[in-house]
Structure 1
Amino acid sequence: MHIGCHLSSSKGFAAMGRQALELGADTFQFFTRNPRGSRAKDLDEADAAALTALMAEHRFAPVVAHAPYTLNLCGAREENRAFALETMADDLRRLEHLPGQLYNFHPGSHVGQGEETGTALIAAGLNALLRPDQSTTVLLETMSGKGSEVGGSFESLRAILDRVELGEKVGVCLDTCHVWDAGYDIAADLDGVLAEFDRLLGLDRLRAVHLNDSKNPLGSRKDRHACIGEGCIGLEALVRVVRHPALRDLPFCLETPNDLAGYAREIALLRRAAED
């Protein structure tokens, strides 16, 4: 089982790796830049190399770089779409200094243009971004379906993937809170949900899991994360997720409302449960 949490990148790549080890983790997630802005720190190639060496030494799973929330590849305004493309392209260039990692992003919100238009714009953006020689896999995150979000169903993600030219460079990150809030009952029918995922998307495309409980009942379409075992999904169901044979070798990243000590407790709890 590979599990980690969301860490601050303010002290650099290698510092995040060392912090992950202190928390009992062997993967982690970080924002590529200010999650609600556009500024990114200058790239320190030596620091990136130090993290790569640390990950190899301690047999880390791939780490997950998360794009800022503000990016919207299917925004109504062309300048907003151009900003998203420019920022994501810069992120992908930087990530080549950490070869073979994952880059996760929220597909976007069509803001009243309609799902079909949103889907077409997201796919066009990915076709402009992806390069045959890149080592980073770009992940579409499963969303809760609130408002005008695109990606609130497996069918929605399939529609994007069908239009992506370099499909081998794109995967999916399954967020347990989001799929629950979108109406997929991973507590009562995890096997059924994964079978539906496999039918529509292919389990080979599932490359990472955001492991979160939810403050909301099934199908609420609200997206409010809870600590593990303190929400409507529940500890027993989330343990089944980490122990499932189709999932257990993936990187699991906690995005629960926690401080570092809380993350350490959850990582230890889930490791114990996975080994029982």
Structure 2
Amino acid sequence: MRVGAHTSIAGGAYNAVDEQVEYGGNCGQIFSHSPQVWQDPNIDDDEAERFRDLTDENGVGPWVIHSSYLVNLCTPKDDLREKSIDSMQKEVDAADKLDVEYVNVHLGAHTGAGVDGGLDNAASALDELDIPDGVTVLVESDAGSGTKLGGEFEHLAEVLDRSSQDLEICVDTAHAFAAGYDLSTVEGVNETVAEFDEVVGLDKLACIHLNDSKHECGTNKDEHAHVGEGEIGVEGMQTILTHEALADVPFVLETPTEDGKSFAWNIERARELAGAE
């Protein structure tokens, strides 16, 4: 079972590996720079080599780089589109340097372009990337508030279909739940997995962000909770973690650090619910 958390590269990208091992994780996610600003990853050769070596030594992987929060692939605005493409190119290049397999990105908001226009914008923006061999861009599911796209599995399928790139998908459980996919029961999880397979294809599911939700199903509110302690709850989380169709998919946690519960607590909780303890 591959389960880990989002860890920090503060002081050097290699520190994310040590932090992951400390939490008990064996896969994980990082930002290559502060996600709230337009910034280059700026990872030097020695730092990258140490990250790769520590990853190999500790058997941690796959890793995911999460793109900047400012990236908006769906935008109709030329300046934001160009900044988003430039930022994504630097992310996939950083992933190549670090031997990180995936770069994860939200589609963003169409802000008036309409669903169809926004999906076309996203697909064509992704098509402008020169993605290195060994790196795959993951399109992440969204909570679906406002004009943000990715809340419906159909949005994800359309971008994969419209783009010439070999893209895959990351489903965030809290986002999917907020978007209206009921993951709180055995039946709900089974139906959601079956719908994803029919609409997108389970062969395109490369990663799951394992987050519980502080808000009810269909509220479009994106706020994460500890594993098993939110509205998805123990039954839903346990069903996701033990679902036969998801057995080979890595789980990456973006759970909060509050109530005295850390990433280590959530990783242990996930393993416990999966029967891996």
Q: TM-score with structure 1 length normalisation?
A: 0.94
- Partner SS, residue 83 of structure 1: helix
Deviation at 1:124, TM superposition (A): 0.2
2:127 corresponds to:
127
The percentage of counterpart residues that share the same residue type is 35
1:102 & 1:135 partners in 2: Cα distance? 9
- Partner SS, residue 108 of structure 1: coil
- Partner SS, residue 242 of structure 1: helix
2:154 corresponds to:
155
1:33 corresponds to:
33
Aligned residues: 273
8 Å contact kept, 1:63–1:251: no
1:37 & 1:230 partners in 2: Cα distance? 32
- Partner SS, residue 129 of structure 1: coil
- In structure 1, the gaps of 5 or more residues are none
Instruction: Determine which of 173, 177, 187 is the counterpart of 2:174.
Output: 177
CA RMSD of the aligned region, Å?
1.6
- In structure 2, the gaps of 5 or more residues are none
Amino acid at match of 1:51: F
1:9-41 CA-to-partner distances (Å, cap 9, x unmatched) read: 222221110111011011121112211101235
8 Å contact kept, 1:34–1:40: no
Deviation at 1:130, TM superposition (A): 4.1
Deviation at 1:128, TM superposition (A): 0.6
| Structural mapping, 1:80-229, within 5 Å | 80-131=80-131, 133-167=132-166, 170-188=167-185, 189-229=188-228
Residue 56 of structure 2 is aligned to residue 56 of structure 1? yes
Residue 74 of structure 2 is aligned to residue 74 of structure 1? yes
Q: TM-score with structure 2 length normalisation?
A: 0.93
1:241 & 1:77 partners in 2: Cα distance? 38
2:200 & 2:130 partners in 1: Cα distance? 19
Amino acid at match of 2:141: T
Deviation at 1:166, TM superposition (A): 2.4
8 Å contact kept, 2:41–2:91: no
Amino acid at match of 1:185: D
8 Å contact kept, 2:237–2:273: no
Question: Structure 2 vs 1, CA of residues 144 and 41 (structure 1 numbering), >3 Å: closer, same or farther?
Answer: closer
1:231 corresponds to:
230
2:51 & 2:246 partners in 1: Cα distance? 25
